[in-house]
Structure 1
Amino acid sequence: MPAAYFVVRATVADAAKRAAFDAWYSREHLPDAMKSFGAQRAWRCWSLSDPSLHQATYQFADQAALERAVNSDHMKRLVADFNRDWPDVTRTRDLLLLAEEAMAT
């Protein structure tokens, strides 16, 4: 079974709020989401081409594990917490299934 990924892209338009958002995501949201989802691993990135864009990626063993996570009550709570703490930050979400993986030789 191929790995599956949940990707959340957030736009933090106000540059003055990015440091606080980064700290909140690192200390509160990411650890909570990892535990609540049962994700295998996760990572976050800030875009170099557009500093307002933040992306968080959560890895799951397979599509079934991903679907359980995003359809859970935990997901509803995490979304509500995000909306409460960051009402002006817009997000998009994507569900991905690994098609191929290559490594440099």
Structure 2
Amino acid sequence: MPAAIFVVRATVPDPARRDAFDRWYRDVHLPDAIKSFGVSKAWRVWSLTDPAVHQAMYQFDDAVSMERAVGGGEMKRLIADFNRDWPDVTRTRESFVLAQIVGA
């Protein structure tokens, strides 16, 4: 089965809060999500087109393990923690299945 990618896109509207958000995501949320989801690979990016947009991607072995992780109680806890710490940051979530890899 191909790998699956779970993507969380967040918009941090206040430029003065982006550094704090970046530190929190790096030091608190990303490590917690990696452990909670049971993934070995995750990455984050900030948009160059729209500096308010932050995106995190979590790679799962397959769609079944992704659906199990994002549909469970740990996901609800992660969402509650995020909402508590960043109530003004809106998010969208999307799930993808890997179609192709080219190169190393």
TM-score when normalising by structure 2: 0.98
Aligned to 1:91: 91
What percentage of residue pairs aligned between the two structures are identical?
65
Say whether the 8 Å CA contact 1:6–1:66 is kept in structure 2.
yes
Aligned to 2:82: 82
Aligned to 1:23: 23
User: 1-side partners of 2:11 and 2:27: how far apart?
Assistant: 19
After TM superposition, list the pairs within 5 Å mapping 1:16-95 onto structure 2: 16-95=16-95
Deviations 1:62-91 (A, max 9, x none): 011101110110000000000000000000
Aligned to 2:6: 6
User: 2-side partners of 1:96 and 1:102: how far apart?
Assistant: 17
Say whether the 8 Å CA contact 1:8–1:92 is kept in structure 2.
yes
Say whether the 8 Å CA contact 1:10–1:53 is kept in structure 2.
yes
TM-score when normalising by structure 1: 0.97
Moved runs in structure 1, 4+ residues, more than 2 A?
Answer: none
Measure how far apart 1:101 and its partner are.
Answer: 1.1
User: 2-side partners of 1:14 and 1:39: how far apart?
Assistant: 30
Say whether the 8 Å CA contact 1:40–1:61 is kept in structure 2.
no
User: 2-side partners of 1:32 and 1:55: how far apart?
Assistant: 16
Instruction: State the AA in 2 paired with 1:10.
Output: A
